[in-house]
Amino acid sequence: MTQHLPILAIITLFIGAFIVALIKEKNEVLRNTVVLIATFMSFIFTLMMYKPIIGEGNIITYWMGNWEPVQNWAIGIGLEVDQLSLFFGLFISLSIVLSALYSFKYIEKETGKDKYYVLFLMMSASVMGFIFTGDLFNMYVMIEIMTFASVALTAFRNNKPEAVEAGFKYIAIGSIGSSLILLATVIIYAQFHTLNLAQIAGELHNNYTITTLFALALMVVGYAVKVFAVPTHFVAPDAYMTAPSSISMLFSGIVNKAAVYGILRVLYVVYQSMNLPSVQFMLIFWGTVTMFIGVTMALAQHDFKRLLAFHSISQIGYVITGIGLATALGITGGLYHALNHTLFKGLLFLCAGAVYYATGTTDLDKLGGLAKRMPQTALIFIIGAFSISGIPPFNGFVSKWIIYQASYEAGYAPVTIIALIVSVMTLASFIKVAQSAFFGQLPKEFKNVEEVPLSMRVPMWIMAILCIVGGIFPSSFTKYLITPAANAVMNSAKYVEVMMGPEFASKFYNNLGNAPVIDYKLAGYWQPIAWLILFGILLLAFTLVALLGGFNPKHFSYSDEEDAKYDVFYSGESAEFSHVGGSDLFWGLKYQFRHYFDLMHKIHNGVVNDYALSVVLTAAVVLLYVFTFVR
């Protein structure tokens, strides 16, 4: 049974999409149950793969149509799931289930709901397919379905002009990216006359010819367009902003993680270019630039989801930098941050969706004081905001801390400095969102805003708890999930050998020994028990002070009726509505760097042609770089 698990995990989603297309508008409940079953089954199948792959450490291979390789020549399409793809598969299928659960209530007010679910299932199936496939052209097809479904879902609310505009821009830029990937696939096929990743990896083992380098450059740029690395990131904020929140959660959770997986698989496992300093420098430089520009643009935003979109770009910059370091600690940090990013960014997008569901707008200048009306969403938002800005008890801190340690040990001191400053600016932009959307005064039109229904809050709570658990018990996460994945990245010989039969790999790899075992002690990171003891003791101390009657007998005086005593202090004025928030926070920082912010505003001018030009320029620069430096 375990042999068929990878294909089952993918097919259940495709069949689900097919059945939902058949049901159409006839029966809502039936359709919702089909969607839930499809996503849940795919998650269960991925979980069942955990024991054989990470538990016992072997790799599941599955040849479509049972076309085994003939005389060491792969003919058929092969699926190959090793620790790395299973690591990505696990948290991707989890976020698919949570997003499906969230969208039942969230999409209720929209029209054309069945089309939403068909596209939703197609996108998630293609991402799962992309993660588990071991065939180059199959990766291109899956990336194409994913882009296609994402474009259609971006323009899902076609009554809004912005959504249609964002959809068109996304398909224009996305198709350039996909064409570059297809071109690279064609060139690799022309060189090796096979499409199987393992066989290509075998033949590519330290004999790079000019054509393979050309293919490498095109592939990296193609996936960079999909991952929205900086010069190609212009489309991302439009697409995330206009798509429904449960979909923008998937955009930032699984679509750009799939592209990161693509970069990892192509660069490190197929091309084994991990120990080439030139490739490392390219990735680290690209990641740092993405990190910095993403967060500085986020500071200047007025819309909640557009701000989150720019943060996705900057956090992906962290992941790329972590992976680019290519040391054991660096890759562990990068992978752990990819997992954490899916968790806390998904959480924040769901909060944005809850705000949109309750108030109808995500414009920060109009919102205010929602914490009183939506206490649970506000608390979940605080957890998400603290984990993304790396505050210790949450999971964002652990992965960022590993990346700082790795980047400084690898000798890239400026990268560590920029990473720390970017993390502080992330904190600044989320304080801005907290002040303008959740705290401060409640505008009149949102007086009777209600908390979102339970079925939307359950996925949010699950993710919030995962964020906290990831922060308090990091060593368990790394031991069972991330170290095997990082090992799989650094030791691709096993990947080739299992797929193509035992003696095939030995022809190319002289040392079949497995990768350096990643053993780092989370130096200095305090043991969680000490932290829990401390919390207990201090709460005890605090209640002691309260019990002593040190407080005023009436404790906290609080009342809701119109009494001047409980009004906010306006130096005596009557409490009229003057909510400080939105874009007039941080005027000091923006004034200080006004030239930089004006330049950035001018560059993001919204014209599709300029975005396409930036993609083509990136391709040219990367090509030049790869030809001159990578040997």
Asked if 515 contacts 491 with a C-beta cutoff of 8 angstroms, the reply is yes
Closer residue to other proteins (CB): 190 or 458: 190
Asked if 76 contacts 64 with a C-beta cutoff of 8 angstroms, the reply is yes
Q: Is 408 in the site for other proteins (CB under 8 A)?
A: yes
Closer residue to other proteins (CB): 49 or 127: 127
Distance of CA 115 to the CA centre of its chain: 24
Handedness of CA 537, 541, 546, 548 (dihedral sign): positive
133, β-bridge pairs: 79
Q: Which of 116, 292, 304, 386 binds other proteins (CB under 8 A)?
A: 386
Closer residue to other proteins (CB): 459 or 471: 471
Query: Smallest distance, Å, CB 228 to other proteins?
Result: 15
Closer residue to other proteins (CB): 412 or 509: 412
Interacting stretch for other proteins, rule CB under 8 A, among 2-10, 83-91, 178-186, 460-468?
A: 178-186
Of residues 68-107, those binding other proteins (CB under 8 A)? none
- Binding residues for other proteins, rule CB under 8 A, total 132
Query: How far apart, in whole angstroms, are the C-alpha atoms of residue 35 and residue 44?
Result: 14
Of residues 111-150, those binding other proteins (CB under 8 A)? 137, 141, 144, 148
Q: Is 442 in the site for other proteins (CB under 8 A)?
A: yes
Query: How far apart, in whole angstroms, are the C-alpha atoms of residue 306 and residue 583?
Result: 13
Query: How far apart, in whole angstroms, are the C-alpha atoms of residue 406 and residue 9?
Result: 35
Interacting stretch for other proteins, rule CB under 8 A, among 276-284, 439-447, 460-468, 622-630?
A: 439-447
Query: Smallest distance, Å, CB 318 to other proteins?
Result: 15
Q: Which of 67, 535, 596, 627 binds other proteins (CB under 8 A)?
A: 535
Closer residue to other proteins (CB): 39 or 194: 194
Q: Which of 132, 401, 412, 446 binds other proteins (CB under 8 A)?
A: 401
Judged by DSSP in three states, 302 sits in coil
Of residues 284-303, those binding other proteins (CB under 8 A)? 300
Asked if 153 contacts 120 with a C-beta cutoff of 8 angstroms, the reply is yes
Closer residue to other proteins (CB): 169 or 205: 169
Measure the CA angle with vertex 402, ends 399 and 406; round to 5°: 140
Query: Smallest distance, Å, CB 322 to other proteins?
Result: 15
Alpha helices in 49-204 (DSSP H): 50, 83-106, 113-132, 136-154, 161-192, 197-204
Site string for other proteins, 330-359 (x = CB under 8 A): ------------------------------
Q: Which of 4, 24, 51, 372 binds other proteins (CB under 8 A)?
A: 372
Q: Which of 24, 51, 193, 479 binds other proteins (CB under 8 A)?
A: 193
Of residues 496-525, those binding other proteins (CB under 8 A)? 523-525
Q: Which of 444, 554, 595, 631 binds other proteins (CB under 8 A)?
A: 554
Query: Smallest distance, Å, CB 64 to other proteins?
Result: 13
Of the candidates 248, 264, 265, 256, the one whose C-alpha atom is nearest the C-alpha of residue 356 is: 248
Alpha helices in 193-234 (DSSP H): 197-204, 210-227
Measure the CA angle with vertex 241, ends 622 and 239; round to 5°: 40
Query: Smallest distance, Å, CB 480 to other proteins?
Result: 23
Query: Smallest distance, Å, CB 590 to other proteins?
Result: 9
Closer residue to other proteins (CB): 29 or 568: 568
Q: Which of 209, 375, 479, 514 binds other proteins (CB under 8 A)?
A: 375
Query: Smallest distance, Å, CB 23 to other proteins?
Result: 23
Q: Which of 83, 133, 405, 483 binds other proteins (CB under 8 A)?
A: 405
Distance of CA 212 to the CA centre of its chain: 29
Q: What is the DSSP string of 43-84?
A: HHHHHHTHIIIIIT---EEEEGGG---BTTB--S-EEEE-HH
- Give me the phi and psi of 526, to 5 degrees please: -70, 155
Q: Is 158 in the site for other proteins (CB under 8 A)?
A: yes
Judged by DSSP in three states, 363 sits in strand
Q: Which of 15, 50, 175, 515 binds other proteins (CB under 8 A)?
A: 175
Site string for other proteins, 198-227 (x = CB under 8 A): ------------------------------
Q: Is 542 in the site for other proteins (CB under 8 A)?
A: yes
Q: Which of 69, 89, 177, 237 binds other proteins (CB under 8 A)?
A: 237
Six-digit token string for 192: 């090796």
Asked if 87 contacts 485 with a C-beta cutoff of 8 angstroms, the reply is yes
Asked if 549 contacts 403 with a C-beta cutoff of 8 angstroms, the reply is no
Of the candidates 111, 88, 102, the one whose C-alpha atom is nearest the C-alpha of residue 36 is: 102
Closer residue to other proteins (CB): 26 or 554: 554
Q: Which of 441, 472, 625, 630 binds other proteins (CB under 8 A)?
A: 441
Query: Smallest distance, Å, CB 301 to other proteins?
Result: 8
Overall size of the chain counted in residues? 631
Closer residue to other proteins (CB): 175 or 455: 175
Judged by DSSP in three states, 196 sits in strand
Closer residue to other proteins (CB): 15 or 187: 187
Residue 203's region, left for phi above 0, alpha for psi from -120 to 50, else beta, is alpha
Interacting stretch for other proteins, rule CB under 8 A, among 224-232, 263-271, 351-359, 373-381?
A: 373-381
Asked if 69 contacts 19 with a C-beta cutoff of 8 angstroms, the reply is no
Q: What is the DSSP letter of 502?
A: H
Query: How far apart, in whole angstroms, are the C-alpha atoms of residue 366 and residue 370?
Result: 11
Query: Smallest distance, Å, CB 260 to other proteins?
Result: 23
With a CB cutoff of 8 Å and minimum separation 6, the contacts of 289 are 230, 317
Q: What is the DSSP letter of 479?
A: I
Q: Is 28 in the site for other proteins (CB under 8 A)?
A: no
Residue indicated by tokens 């890239």 = 412
Of residues 561-620, those binding other proteins (CB under 8 A)? 563-574, 578-581, 584-589, 591-592, 601, 604-609, 612-613, 616
Handedness of CA 163, 169, 175, 177 (dihedral sign): negative
Q: Which of 30, 37, 420, 532 binds other proteins (CB under 8 A)?
A: 420
Closer residue to other proteins (CB): 164 or 472: 164
Six-digit token string for 242: 């206009």
Closer residue to other proteins (CB): 217 or 442: 442
With a CB cutoff of 8 Å and minimum separation 6, the contacts of 300 are 583, 590, 597, 600, 601
